[in-house]
């Protein structure tokens, strides 16, 4: 007999109670993370990042249990939250491995893709750390459109020479990422493509992204691509490229129309 979604969730929770503790792997570079995740079914992965504060010196939102709001000046290191993350996400299913990249991004490997679906379906997530609620966001691992905060947190651990910033990607339409990967693969293996989401202010509709980021396997590929400022990814449709720096990213055009 086919079980309901809630029954499957309850069964997953019960099985988690007797599961072994999750393995924690700390990595220094994005390239190491990609290599570590290559043999894993990507449907069992999701990205965890800490919500930023409006003040640049504060990296997370703290909300004490039972109160509406309270902010502390302490910076939260996601690497020190592995036990808290495992305890929290175990309510969704068995946590197999937590991969830590730097101090603000982690990739969680669940033992079941169903658990990941359950996590992504939840609208909001907060983890209790020393009696305070740390607000976090989760994204599908293979998702191309990520927030500026998440992209910055990931790319600061990538070799800058391997990263290329691509502008005017919206000319390629909604399939821009696929067109970019197909075209730029001639310069070497493309590890990942990230896109900044673009939304209409009037209708709040998702639009083709204006800005994208190529992460090449080898720095030589990024260097060759950046030598030409314009590339015709599709016939008669070009994009402009440049070397990636955090300053260049922060100076980008507003990604909302």
pLDDT band at 4, cuts 50/70/90?
low
Q: Among 211, 222, 194, which Cα is nearest to 248's?
A: 211
Helix H or strand E encompassing 89:
helix 82-89
Residue-level pLDDT at 244: 83
3-state secondary structure of 112: coil
Tokens at 217, concatenated: 């396997």
- The 10s digit of each residue's pLDDT in 34-85 is 999 999 999 999 999 987 643 333 344 444 444 444 344 455 688 888 888 9
- The 10s digit of each residue's pLDDT in 131-146 is 778 888 999 999 999 9
Residue-level pLDDT at 69: 40
The answer to whether domain 5-140 and domain 148-250 are alike in fold is yes
Residue-level pLDDT at 66: 47
Residue-level pLDDT at 132: 78
**Whether residue 221 has pLDDT greater than 60:** yes
For residues 164 and 242, give the distance between their C-alpha atoms in angstroms, rounded to a whole number: 6
**Whether residue 200 has pLDDT greater than 80:** no
**Whether residue 123 has pLDDT greater than 50:** yes
In the chain, where are the structural domains located? 5-140, 148-250
CB 144 within 8 A of CB 175: no
- Mean pLDDT for the stretch of residues 11-17: 59
Share of the chain above pLDDT 70, in %: 76
CB 150 within 8 A of CB 139: yes
For residues 166 and 238, give the distance between their C-alpha atoms in angstroms, rounded to a whole number: 10
Query: Domain 148-250 belongs to what architecture?
Result: 2-Layer Sandwich (3.30)
Higher pLDDT, 93 or 51: 93
CATH of 5-140, one of 3.30.70.330, 3.40.50.300, 3.30.420.40, 1.10.10.10: 3.30.70.330
Share of the chain above pLDDT 90, in %: 49
- Mean pLDDT for the stretch of residues 99-104: 89
- Mean pLDDT for the stretch of residues 79-104: 90
Q: End-to-end distance of the chain based on CA atoms, in angstroms?
A: 49
Higher pLDDT, 5 or 227: 227
Higher pLDDT, 1 or 105: 105
Higher pLDDT, 63 or 233: 233
For residues 196 and 192, give the distance between their C-alpha atoms in angstroms, rounded to a whole number: 13
**Whether residue 126 has pLDDT greater than 50:** yes
For residues 227 and 150, give the distance between their C-alpha atoms in angstroms, rounded to a whole number: 27
Residue 203 burial (CB < 10 Å; 0-12/13-18/19+)? exposed
Residue whose pair of structure tokens reads 């209790």 in the numeric block: 128
For residues 113 and 94, give the distance between their C-alpha atoms in angstroms, rounded to a whole number: 10
- What's the mean per-residue pLDDT of the chain? 81
């Amino acid at each position: 007999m086919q079980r309901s979604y809630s029954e499957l969730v309850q069964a997953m929770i019960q099985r988690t109670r007797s599961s072994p503790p999750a393995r924690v792997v700390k990595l220094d570079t994005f390239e190491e993370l990609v290599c570590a995740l290559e043999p894993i079914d990507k449907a069992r992965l999701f990205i965890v990042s800490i919500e930023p504060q409006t003040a640049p010196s504060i990296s997370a939102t703290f909300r004490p249990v039972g109160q509406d709001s309270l902010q502390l000046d302490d910076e939260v290191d996601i690497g020190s939250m592995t036990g808290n993350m495992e305890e929290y996400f175990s309510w969704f299913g068995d946590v197999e491995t937590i991969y830590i990249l730097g101090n603000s991004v982690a990739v969680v490997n669940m033992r079941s893709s169903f658990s990941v679906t359950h996590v992504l379906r939840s609208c909001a997530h907060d983890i209790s750390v020393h009696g305070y609620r740390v607000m976090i966001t989760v994204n599908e691992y293979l998702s191309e459109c990520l927030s500026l905060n998440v992209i910055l947190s990931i790319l600061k651990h990538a070799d800058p020479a391997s990263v290329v910033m691509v502008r005017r990607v919206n000319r390629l339409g909604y399939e821009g990422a696929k067109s970019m990967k197909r075209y730029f693969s001639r310069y070497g293996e493309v590890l990942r493509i990230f896109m900044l989401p673009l939304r209409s202010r009037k209708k709040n509709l998702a639009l083709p992204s204006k800005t994208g980021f190529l992460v090449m396997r080898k720095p030589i590929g990024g260097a060759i691509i950046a030598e030409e400022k314009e590339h015709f990814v599709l016939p008669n449709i070009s994009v402009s490229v440049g070397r990636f720096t955090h300053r260049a990213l922060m100076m980008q055009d507003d990604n909302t129309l």
